Structure 1
Amino acid sequence: MQLKGSISYHGIAYVDGNASGPLIASNLELSFWGGVDPQTSEVIDRHHPLSGKHIQDAILAIPGSRGSCSGSGVLLELILNGKGPKGFIFSRKEDILTLGVVVAEEIFNKSIPVVVLETDEFQDLQNAIHVTINGNTVSSAQLKSVPEVSEPVAEKALGTSLNHHVELSDGDKDFLEGLHGRAAQAAMRIILRMAAIEGADKLIDITQVHIDGCVYTGPGSLDFAERLRDWGGKVLVPTTLNSISVDQKRWRSQGVASTFGEAAEKLATAYTDMGGRPTFTCAPYLLSSAPKKGDQVAWAESNAVVYANSVLGARTMKYPDFLDICIALTGRAPHGGLHLKHNRLASLRVEMPLLQPEDIDDSLYPLLGYHVGGLSGSRIPVITGFERVRPSTDDLKAFGAAFATMASAPMFHIAGVTPEAATLQDAIGERDDIETVSLDLRQLETSWRTLNSAQDSSPVDLVSLGNPHFSIMEMRNLANICRGWTKDDRVSIMVTCGRATHGLASQAGLIEELERFGVQFITDTCWCMIDEPVIPTSAKTIMTNSAKYAHYGPGLTGKKFYFGSLERCVAAACSGTYDKGMPKFIQ
């Protein structure tokens, strides 16, 4: 076959190997969790340019991942069930998806190549039709027809072209030699491979872990956890568990299929058997065990990572699913990324007009986080303009979750608000060439319309609250708003929260009061894992105050979405209709 315009590029093979196939490419990062169906390989992020495409048997070229830490779990399922891409090409260091390949290789002896190209070469590649990966070399060709190529996923560990030495302590060597058991040995191998990718020269002790890998993405996630447990795995540091895929106490009465519910329970049990606390919350920063400023921790779950770094001032990288339990089994993590102070400085300034308290409502923060996340990409931003407003911790939670949905950066600063940005200079350090973007609040209209994907005046069937999990203060605010209102019987209103928060709210009488109004409570799981029948089959349109859920929800549920403030959500629950008027701060 005649090749037209064949070009070769040389990059770095994070995972070595050979593959050939049609190219699917985008300049926009993609979250695999909520963005790719692990059973079909379809891109289901309805806001992404690749929406509707199937990545099976293709070479996927994207700058990197964004959003959820669970992308590694989705990728593992794709590789194990034969629905995955044949290889990856990135334009920057990529932890989450690479970790999914590393786990497939180390634990299941299956692999696909992963190559990182320079940005300009990555851009040149975008218009290619067919691509071949051979080690650290990528060859592209413009073809009138794509050749039939069917190469199986590699059945052996392939290594890497990274030449990076990580200094090992005597304790690290003991883990690596299997003196603490097979699970800890496998965990240390995975940690060291990721340390090399990070460019870390040594490992450090961490004080706690938050595990996101307890989310059931399919048989692979369960097999991985049960293998580590059966190999004798036990956590060595305090370890909390993220939301699981079902409400452990209620899933049977909710009508969840037994095959799914039992598998999700087995996964949760595997992690608790290894010593994880059954906290089952995506908001571990609400627990009494939350870390303090300067603590070196290893957290997964994208919103939790952003909150820990930005609001608490703790230090953690955005750890992918599966790497979290590896760190918990050894107590050791790569000394790189945001564990180092100089990597926590802002490289983008977002300059906002001076906000006035009377002009804003609580929908500003998730909307602004979503917009700033899109502007930031992999850059850490510092936002100015908050001199006259004081966002609450719940406001910052909403901002951070939305920011993490759109950005790959694992933290933000708000000048005068967050702990490492008492002043603008604190946030940017010695830099004098920082890029500045001036943001007019009217520019948020684009994000507002994106999140309000139901544009046809559809009645509201379900109000979804608690993504991330509701805090006790949000419970109080909701109760205050609901007083004097009567819910429409045709509308369901559901709140997800952690067990600890539900217990506190119950003691305060808030659960009983809100249940009288008509609120249904779900613990242990979160909206990104909930589907029918917990979401009523008859529900066509969902309203939420979460920008994160308004983004992922259409692809995860197939429903239409409205987005707005907490007060607007309650109004919709009482009227069954959505007020289309934009907030005052946009107008």
Structure 2
Amino acid sequence: MARHQSRHGRSLVYGRASGSLLASDLELSFWGGIDPQTGEIIDRHHPLSGRHVEDIIFAIPCGRGSCSGSGVILELLLNGKGPKGLIFSSLETILTLGVIVARELFGKSIPVVQLVEEDFRAMLEADYVNIDGGRVVWGDRGQVTDTAPEQPPSQHEEQSSSSQQIELTDTDKSLLSGSRGEASAAAMRIILEMSRLQGARKLLSITQVHIDGCVYTGPGSLAFAEKLLALGGRVVVPTTLNSISVDQKRWRSQGVESAFGAAAERLATVYTDMGARPTFTCAPYLLESAPRKGEQVAWAESNAVVYANSVLGAKTMKYPDFLDIAIALTGRAPNGGLHIAENRTASLCVDARKALELDVAEDLLWPVLGYCIGGFAGNRIPAVLGLEAFSPSKDDLKAFGAAFATVSSAPMFHIVGVTPEARSLEAATGSFRDVKHVELSTNDLSNCFEALNTAAKTDKVDLISLGNPHFSLPELRKLATLCHGKIKHPSKAIIVCCGRSTYGLASQAGVVEDLEEFGVQVIEDTCWCMIGDPVIPRDARVIMTNSAKYAHYGPGLTGRRIRFGGLEECVQVACQGVSDASSG
């Protein structure tokens, strides 16, 4: 390697650290991508799969996927399994927020730096890295002098979350001074820190919040919520809750380990004690409280954010866990990102017309398209051409958006002629002068379809997993219709997840009874990204799903192989035991 190099970047969280470098030029979701208890990279689709982030400098372009990445980095820092420092090439707010919370409430911190892309790529092959505020030095271990991390930063070095940079109302100042208690004051400090990072010059009022931080990632997530509650935290705007880590009504009878179940249930209770509604769904857009076009909201949960922005036309940033409750406690959010109209336009045009020859079940086309386009998009908002003639349903767009959000860090998409802000390509791209154009091929989609299948078509399927994101009432009805008159194979388990509201409507309509007669187990409150043994039978080796999101995360989360197929094929396999339908 050439002699060491030194570059200056942007210090997102000030600190000093030195260590061996673990780096990739591919984004990674910390939730579903890193085990928060061990530090192992468990995303089996990522080139760093199997490596550990403990005690190294970790560099990726940015995060992607889940908003719960902030919870994972908090757990890693609190249990000693985290990296010594983080380096990104894009402004990464989700993971940075987790570090800020660790510093603000628990006194634990690591440096976080953003380098320009050219410098980031030049660093990727280094062995050893030194971080000192915004200065990054890399090279062979013997070429790089270690920092002294115990040395405190000087006043001019440390980047402050000072409110002087942001225009505050009298109410903002009152909250910051503690007029409504220390929980709201701490929440304001976190909001202002994130506003500074995002370049927001003022705050705005929002009408509702959807909280993802109620997912139990470990003791840190519970300690955070309990601290806010103890400090008098109470939500001041209507607030819904995401899926939690257990089915509150059934986890004991399901055999869930008692310490985990009790902690997960306690976390949910803490949030409801702060005034949030116990909706417990990852699909809040299915609720009667879903926002309208143009409404300013603060939603977390990656698929919900993408759906709210793209399909409903509401305005929300991709809010990290912990920032969501901070906004709920104050009703105030950074006035930046997708809250501003000009930031919602597309910089990437994806022509999907030639890709539609893919020979898969009709309901698989949308998640495969979302997964493929999300991979091309990266952190860019895409405008997709060639799909308007298909008149996708709300459930089609749900499947597309969830798959898109799994591999893209962009908080929305446009489908020309379909989504509300894309009546034309010109409307979707707005003022962008240099829009990149990509043409999808059938081969692109076929490769994505194959990547989502880690089990062979002829492998014996043990479990059919449905409802990631949560099934809607029309999806439950469709499943019941497909099951009608058929007999489930006795060795097969089939489980579907949905929210409490949907479950209640399906029960009243007799749909739940019909499903249970076939042998479907219907679970509320939780979702597949949180479900493990023994709800997943311990002897199950192959799981089948119609969710691209779960097909991506499932191998790492469960250690099982995944078969990706359409809903009709899932029912067929539940009856026959193997997949023999054409899958393309």
TM bucket (normalised to shorter chain) is: over 0.9
Cα separation, partners in 2 of 1:155 and 1:492, compared to 1, 3 Å = farther
Give secondary structure in 2 for the equivalent of 1:468: coil
Q: Distance in 2 between matches of 1:87 and 1:522?
A: 39
Q: Distance in 2 between matches of 1:402 and 1:209?
A: 23
Residue 160 of structure 1 pairs with residue 153 of structure 2: no
What is the CA distance between 1:143 and its match in structure 2? 3.6
What is the CA distance between 1:148 and its match in structure 2? 9.5
Contact 2:161 2:192 survives alignment (8 Å): no
Q: Distance in 1 between matches of 2:450 and 2:358?
A: 23
Q: Distance in 2 between matches of 1:304 and 1:473?
A: 18
Question: In structure 2, what is the equivalent of residue 32 of structure 1?
Answer: 30
Question: In structure 1, what is the equivalent of residue 16 of structure 2?
Answer: 18
Give the stretch that moved more between structures: 429-438 or 37-46: 429-438
Contact 1:111 1:153 survives alignment (8 Å): no
Give secondary structure in 1 for the equivalent of 2:470: strand
Question: In structure 2, what is the equivalent of residue 114 of structure 1?
Answer: 112
Question: In structure 2, what is the equivalent of residue 343 of structure 1?
Answer: 343
Q: Distance in 2 between matches of 1:551 and 1:357?
A: 20
Q: TM-score, normalising length from structure 1? A: 0.96
Which runs of 5 or more residues in structure 1 are unaligned? none
Contact 1:13 1:161 survives alignment (8 Å): no
Contact 2:345 2:432 survives alignment (8 Å): no
Question: In structure 2, what is the equivalent of residue 546 of structure 1?
Answer: 547
What is the CA distance between 1:422 and its match in structure 2? 1.1
Report matched runs for 1:479-490 at 5 Å: 479-490=480-491
Cα separation, partners in 2 of 1:150 and 1:13, compared to 1, 3 Å = closer
What is the CA distance between 1:181 and its match in structure 2? 0.3
Q: Distance in 2 between matches of 1:428 and 1:147?
A: 47
Contact 2:298 2:319 survives alignment (8 Å): yes
Cα separation, partners in 2 of 1:148 and 1:37, compared to 1, 3 Å = farther
Q: Distance in 1 between matches of 2:158 and 2:318?
A: 23
Q: Distance in 2 between matches of 1:102 and 1:215?
A: 19
Give secondary structure in 2 for the equivalent of 1:388: helix
Contact 1:370 1:403 survives alignment (8 Å): yes
Report matched runs for 1:41-440 at 5 Å: 41-143=39-141, 159-160=158-159, 165-353=165-353, 355=356, 361-440=362-441
What is the CA distance between 1:140 and its match in structure 2? 0.4
Q: Distance in 2 between matches of 1:152 and 1:39?
A: 26
Contact 2:130 2:146 survives alignment (8 Å): no
Q: Distance in 1 between matches of 2:152 and 2:101?
A: 13
Q: Distance in 2 between matches of 1:156 and 1:563?
A: 54
Cα separation, partners in 2 of 1:149 and 1:450, compared to 1, 3 Å = farther
Contact 1:291 1:312 survives alignment (8 Å): yes
Question: In structure 2, what is the equivalent of residue 495 of structure 1?
Answer: 496
Give secondary structure in 1 for the equivalent of 2:165: coil
Contact 2:209 2:327 survives alignment (8 Å): yes
What is the CA distance between 1:423 and its match in structure 2? 1.2
Q: TM-score, normalising length from structure 2? A: 0.96
Q: Distance in 1 between matches of 2:30 and 2:578?
A: 33
Give secondary structure in 2 for the equivalent of 1:469: coil
Q: Distance in 2 between matches of 1:20 and 1:358?
A: 51
| CA-to-aligned-CA distance 1:281-330 (integer Å, 9 cap, x gap) | 00000000000000000000000000000000000000000000000000
What is the CA distance between 1:145 and its match in structure 2? 10
Contact 1:376 1:407 survives alignment (8 Å): yes
Question: In structure 1, what is the equivalent of residue 479 of structure 2?
Answer: 478
What is the CA distance between 1:33 and its match in structure 2? 0.3
Amino acid at match of 1:282: C
Give the stretch that moved more between structures: 353-362 or 303-312: 353-362
Amino acid at match of 2:15: G
Give the stretch that moved more between structures: 358-367 or 554-563: 358-367
Q: Distance in 1 between matches of 2:581 and 2:142?
A: 48
Contact 2:545 2:551 survives alignment (8 Å): yes
Give the stretch that moved more between structures: 358-367 or 504-513: 358-367
Q: Distance in 2 between matches of 1:358 and 1:528?
A: 28
Contact 1:365 1:398 survives alignment (8 Å): yes
Cα separation, partners in 2 of 1:554 and 1:304, compared to 1, 3 Å = same
Cα separation, partners in 2 of 1:414 and 1:423, compared to 1, 3 Å = same
What is the CA distance between 1:153 and its match in structure 2? 12
Cα separation, partners in 2 of 1:532 and 1:345, compared to 1, 3 Å = same
Q: Distance in 2 between matches of 1:154 and 1:41?
A: 27
Amino acid at match of 1:291: P
| CA-to-aligned-CA distance 1:139-182 (integer Å, 9 cap, x gap) | 00124799999968999999527898111111110111111100
Q: Distance in 2 between matches of 1:537 and 1:51?
A: 23
Give secondary structure in 1 for the equivalent of 2:17: strand
Cα separation, partners in 2 of 1:123 and 1:162, compared to 1, 3 Å = farther
Q: Distance in 1 between matches of 2:92 and 2:221?
A: 20
What is the CA distance between 1:117 and its match in structure 2? 0.5
Contact 2:466 2:545 survives alignment (8 Å): yes
Give secondary structure in 2 for the equivalent of 1:514: helix
What is the CA distance between 1:433 and its match in structure 2? 2.5
| CA-to-aligned-CA distance 1:432-470 (integer Å, 9 cap, x gap) | 421111112232111111110013732000000000000
Instruction: Quote the RMSD (CA, aligned, Å).
Output: 2.2
What is the CA distance between 1:430 and its match in structure 2? 3.1
| CA-to-aligned-CA distance 1:196-216 (integer Å, 9 cap, x gap) | 011001000000000000000
Amino acid at match of 2:19: G
Report matched runs for 1:436-447 at 5 Å: 436-447=437-448
The percent identity for this pair of structures is 62
Contact 1:465 1:496 survives alignment (8 Å): yes
Contact 1:282 1:469 survives alignment (8 Å): yes
Amino acid at match of 1:256: V
Contact 1:4 1:143 survives alignment (8 Å): no
Q: Distance in 2 between matches of 1:231 and 1:433?
A: 49
Cα separation, partners in 2 of 1:26 and 1:224, compared to 1, 3 Å = same
Give secondary structure in 1 for the equivalent of 2:265: helix
Q: Distance in 2 between matches of 1:112 and 1:22?
A: 15
Give secondary structure in 2 for the equivalent of 1:319: coil
Give secondary structure in 1 for the equivalent of 2:168: coil
Amino acid at match of 2:329: L
Contact 2:76 2:82 survives alignment (8 Å): yes
Amino acid at match of 2:243: S
Which runs of 5 or more residues in structure 2 are unaligned? none
Contact 1:111 1:156 survives alignment (8 Å): no
Give secondary structure in 2 for the equivalent of 1:9: strand
Cα separation, partners in 2 of 1:239 and 1:431, compared to 1, 3 Å = same
Q: Distance in 2 between matches of 1:481 and 1:81?
A: 47
Contact 2:168 2:203 survives alignment (8 Å): yes
Give secondary structure in 1 for the equivalent of 2:465: strand
Give secondary structure in 2 for the equivalent of 1:556: helix
Give secondary structure in 2 for the equivalent of 1:382: strand
Cα separation, partners in 2 of 1:456 and 1:415, compared to 1, 3 Å = closer
Q: Distance in 2 between matches of 1:416 and 1:435?
A: 19
Give secondary structure in 1 for the equivalent of 2:232: coil
What is the CA distance between 1:574 and its match in structure 2? 0.9
| CA-to-aligned-CA distance 1:214-258 (integer Å, 9 cap, x gap) | 000000000000000010000000000000000000000000011
What is the CA distance between 1:416 and its match in structure 2? 0.5
